[in-house]
Structure 1
Amino acid sequence: MAPRYGTRSGFRIYFITLQVFIMSFSILPHPTGKAHPVAVGLFRIGGFIITVVIVTTLALILAACGDRSPDTLHYTGATMGTYYSVKVSRSPQEVHDAHGIDTERLGRDIEEILEEINALMSTYRQDSELSRFNASRSAGWFPVSRDLHTVVSEALRVGRLTGGAFDITVGPLINLWGFGPPMDDEGDREGNDKPEDGPIEEEGFMSAITPRNMPRAADLRDAMTRIGYEKVSTRATPPALRKDDSGVYLDLSAIAKGFAVDKVAEYLERMGIVDYLVDIGGELRGKGRNSTGKPWRVAIEKPMPDQRAIHQVIAVDDRAVATSGDYRNFFEKAGRRYSHTIDPKTGRPVTHALASVTVIDPSAMRADALATAISVLGPQAGYELAEREGIPVRLIIKTETGFTDRGTPAFDGFVVAE
């Protein structure tokens, strides 16, 4: 059984919730359409955003087309409550002869890397390193792994950069709004030791994410006293974390998938592999060329919950791409729509018109966090941040008649002309 990482879906059948389609551009020479946060915490919410894979889905079929050559290795599976896909433009014999490894070992190593990260950072596993830190009531330094220290340190840097729009302490709010780990009958958060039986929920296509009750004002006020990335400190040597408030609860859902992408990419490069595309739940990092000799091309999806259509295609080489949006992970109650993107400053789901954010960066971890932060900030403040910092960003904004988009100048160089 694959590990769960913040998933609210059953394991029997996986659904794809691709925010980004991966494909060889030759399949769609003329794209017809356009291309997650969380206020975070949310892998894209509360656990790493939810749901996984069905290989017959159009997106994966498109991803596979054109890559059936023996020059492409393709590894897929489930991790962190979603799917992963690793493509290597290299023949199995070449990989074996040049680097002294076999294809089966490559697949096993990728699985081990992902499982190690899951065991460190999942809020759905009560025995994970992060869950043990969250459960600790000590005000002293809590020894952690180098990887967990790296992710929390980067999260705090992005928190400072974005004025708190990215805040990994929003876990209590995520849980109150029903986007965190499910609760058992006694009101305790369930770990991954629970049976996987039950209804299958596909993110957003049905309003399956519904809290038993709307959060009470008193509970929100209480949770807000524990929110604030400034309440967390890191120490590099030896690596450790510390919290100022014993009730601080960290949720790395909006950054850990990106970190996992980087770790797999770094492993491939250590193996001498320079042509690859790593995708975990829509967070990607590509380098080199695909099997046709062209740069990896990624389609940004139109932010429509009931359709799969392409908005724009971009080319990536030695870059990561993260897309964040609220159009599939939400619930409705009394005729009102509640996004999974929680604003740490208000403790409530965002209400602005920003539907989707795509960020390009050398680091998938940073791109993941920035996409979440900009989704919290909204179309104006988010754009201003990206432009000021020179971040390649494409925003898709809801209007009365449909959608409009806006990209920073740094993004334009990645767009593939139709």
Structure 2
Amino acid sequence: MSLAAVLRPVIAVVCATALTGCLFSDPLESFGGPTMGSTYAIKYVRADGVADAATLQTGVEAILAEVDSQMSTYRDDSLIEQFNRAPAGTCMAMPQDVLELVRLGEGLALQSDGAFDLTIEPLLNLWGFGPKSRGEQVPSAEAIAAARQRVGHRHLRIDGEQLCKDVKLQVDFNSIAAGHAVDRIAAWLEQQGVGSYLVEATGELKARGRKPDGSPWRIAVEEPRDDQRVAQKVLELDGYGVSTSGDYRNYFEENGRRYSHTLDPRSGAPITHRLAAVTVLHPKALLADGLSTLLMVLGPEEGVIWAERQGIAAFFVTREGEGYVTHATKAFDALIAAQGERP
């Protein structure tokens, strides 16, 4: 099992044309395959000077393999798992990409007063949603309190090229690693001369440019349903990453109560609010990925206020009776309008 196997099962954003088979004209190329416990798919416009598909695929898969070897919590030999197994007081040399993600995670944690936390893995394992879990269960208050002693960015620090921990905590990159991989792939494709593409990895996406007929890349946001896949909103995007977080496919029920896989680090327990899903658009897929998780934790009221204050382009879907109500931030509406006006 790999990076995305358990914590990234909610793939609520898909290529809109996938709903009708993703048929393309000749100038469009595509390739894909398995990665990080899920799949990836690349579609791009072929142009003069661009390497052949086999060469591009080799480069993309090398990036995905490197991200997995550095950040997977489902591989005992990954760098972050070696760090996670180490005792309190450990410092370990890490690549710049790992340190960059730790810094970003700390920033999101501080901005959200702890609603986002990369060190939440002990709680995920305790509730049955983590890579070292022993089955889904409702833990005791004492067990939650004990696990929370090993959670918190205050116990994690960067010292030069090393990552250090004060307690025996565990770092989990599943909320941002896929977005990071998408950004790296997009940047590499651009270096190879690809000007128009749609990159998807384990449900995180980024689109740039236009198709040969001048039409935009279209992304379908799904309704938050666990019985079937239905497009709720179709977005036309150029130069943006897209990420959706939701609680409607990964949960368990006990004594008639539903427990979401999305945990609130501040309480140590699954979220209990009515937010079913949130989609975030951002130029960096990495930030779209992390922000969608953060807003999912904050919920429909606190999350909307936070997103509006930060100028985040976000689309919220909240349970209301037997159905759903939606709310888009001002930044989201403005971005969609601007994208639609592009020639």
How many residues are paired up? 337
Change in Cα spacing, 1:140 to 1:178, as seen in structure 2 (3 Å) is closer
Please say if residues 179 and 286 of structure 2, whose CA atoms lie closer than 8 Å, have aligned partners that are also in contact. yes
Q: Identify unmatched segments of 5+ residues in structure 2.
A: none
Please say if residues 180 and 285 of structure 2, whose CA atoms lie closer than 8 Å, have aligned partners that are also in contact. yes
2:126 to 176, 200, 213: 176
Rounded Cα–Cα distance in structure 2 between residues aligned with 1:224 and 1:123 = 19
- Counterpart code for 1:297: R
Tell me the CA shift for residue 216 of structure 1: 2.7
- Counterpart code for 2:317: I
- Are residues 1:106 and 2:56 paired? yes
Q: Within 5 A, what are the aligned runs for 1:84-233?
A: 84-90=40-46, 94=48, 98-99=49-50, 101-182=51-132, 211=136, 213-233=137-157
* 3-state secondary structure, aligned to 1:85: strand
Q: Within 5 A, what are the aligned runs for 1:334-413?
A: 334-413=255-334
Post-superposition Cα deviations, 1:162-198, rounded to whole Å, max 9, x if no partner, equal 1111101110000111111255xxx7xxxxxxxxxxx
- Are residues 1:7 and 2:5 paired? yes
Please say if residues 398 and 404 of structure 1, whose CA atoms lie closer than 8 Å, have aligned partners that are also in contact. yes
The answer for the alignment partner of 2:20 in structure 1 is 62
Rounded Cα–Cα distance in structure 2 between residues aligned with 1:376 and 1:282 = 19
Tell me the CA shift for residue 377 of structure 1: 0.4
Rounded Cα–Cα distance in structure 2 between residues aligned with 1:400 and 1:334 = 21
Change in Cα spacing, 1:166 to 1:63, as seen in structure 2 (3 Å) is farther
Please say if residues 75 and 86 of structure 1, whose CA atoms lie closer than 8 Å, have aligned partners that are also in contact. yes
Tell me the CA shift for residue 5 of structure 1: 2.0
The answer for the alignment partner of 1:298 in structure 2 is 219
> Which has the bigger relative contact order, CA under 8 A and spacing at least 6?
1
The answer for the alignment partner of 1:28 in structure 2 is none
The answer for the alignment partner of 1:18 in structure 2 is 11
Change in Cα spacing, 1:336 to 1:160, as seen in structure 2 (3 Å) is same
The answer for the alignment partner of 1:75 in structure 2 is 31
Question: In terms of mean alpha carbon deviation, does 216-225 or 123-132 score higher?
Answer: 216-225
Tell me the CA shift for residue 62 of structure 1: 3.0
- Counterpart code for 2:45: S
- Counterpart code for 1:398: R
Tell me the CA shift for residue 18 of structure 1: 2.9
Rounded Cα–Cα distance in structure 2 between residues aligned with 1:85 and 1:18 = 13
Please say if residues 39 and 202 of structure 2, whose CA atoms lie closer than 8 Å, have aligned partners that are also in contact. yes
**TM-score scaled to structure 2, two decimals?**
0.93
Tell me the CA shift for residue 218 of structure 1: 2.2
Tell me the CA shift for residue 159 of structure 1: 1.2
- Counterpart code for 1:62: T
- Counterpart code for 1:108: T
Post-superposition Cα deviations, 1:253-272, rounded to whole Å, max 9, x if no partner, equal 10000000001001001111
Rounded Cα–Cα distance in structure 1 between residues aligned with 2:132 and 2:28 = 39
- Counterpart code for 2:20: L
Change in Cα spacing, 1:165 to 1:63, as seen in structure 2 (3 Å) is farther
Rounded Cα–Cα distance in structure 2 between residues aligned with 1:397 and 1:305 = 15
**TM-score scaled to structure 1, two decimals?**
0.77
Tell me the CA shift for residue 299 of structure 1: 1.1
Rounded Cα–Cα distance in structure 2 between residues aligned with 1:284 and 1:268 = 14
Tell me the CA shift for residue 141 of structure 1: 3.1
Tell me the CA shift for residue 374 of structure 1: 0.4
Tell me the CA shift for residue 84 of structure 1: 0.8
Please say if residues 23 and 63 of structure 1, whose CA atoms lie closer than 8 Å, have aligned partners that are also in contact. no
Change in Cα spacing, 1:63 to 1:225, as seen in structure 2 (3 Å) is farther
Tell me the CA shift for residue 142 of structure 1: 1.6
Tell me the CA shift for residue 6 of structure 1: 4.3
Q: Identify unmatched segments of 5+ residues in structure 1.
A: 10-15, 25-59, 188-209
Tell me the CA shift for residue 397 of structure 1: 0.5
* 3-state secondary structure, aligned to 2:139: coil
CA-atom RMSD in angstroms:
1.9
Tell me the CA shift for residue 63 of structure 1: 5.5
Percent identity among equivalent residues? Answer: 38
Rounded Cα–Cα distance in structure 2 between residues aligned with 1:216 and 1:404 = 34
Tell me the CA shift for residue 108 of structure 1: 1.0
* 3-state secondary structure, aligned to 1:398: strand
- Counterpart code for 1:404: V
More strand by share: 2
- Counterpart code for 1:87: K
Rounded Cα–Cα distance in structure 2 between residues aligned with 1:152 and 1:381 = 25
Please say if residues 6 and 180 of structure 1, whose CA atoms lie closer than 8 Å, have aligned partners that are also in contact. no
Rounded Cα–Cα distance in structure 1 between residues aligned with 2:246 and 2:113 = 20
